[in-house]
Amino acid sequence: MKPYILFIICSLSALCFAEEIPNYCHDEETNLQWKTLETKPGIHPDLVDLSKYRDEICARIDMGEIDVIEGTALFEYRRELVMDRIRKGMF
């Protein structure tokens, strides 16, 4: 089984037992932080891509293609990949 599939399954299982998963897609403060991050001079390009990926996930949630739980799992998986690459200096 591919590692990302296993991660998503584990994440979804854990999230199913949570009381409520917050949807930050329409949170003004969170959105401002991501937009500010995108425009910071010298920001790592992978973080800019991650911000755009977040926007895509939010759009999919808004259209009902995926739910907040799945969107959160997808975003967190991608975020971990990006952070690992940055930590290891792979860019």
What is the four-CA torsion angle of 6, 31, 61, 17, rounded to 10 degrees?
50
Contact between 60 and 66 under an 8 Å Cβ cutoff? The reply is yes
Which pTM was predicted? 0.73
Give the model's confidence band at 88: pLDDT under 50 very low, under 70 low, under 90 confident, else very high: confident
Give the model's confidence band at 90: pLDDT under 50 very low, under 70 low, under 90 confident, else very high: low
Question: What mean pLDDT is reported for the chain?
Answer: 83
Give the model's confidence band at 1: pLDDT under 50 very low, under 70 low, under 90 confident, else very high: very low
Instruction: Taking the CA atoms of 17, 20, 26 and 31 in sequence, report the sign of the dihedral they define.
Output: negative
pLDDT tens profile 8-30: 555 554 545 555 788 999 999 99
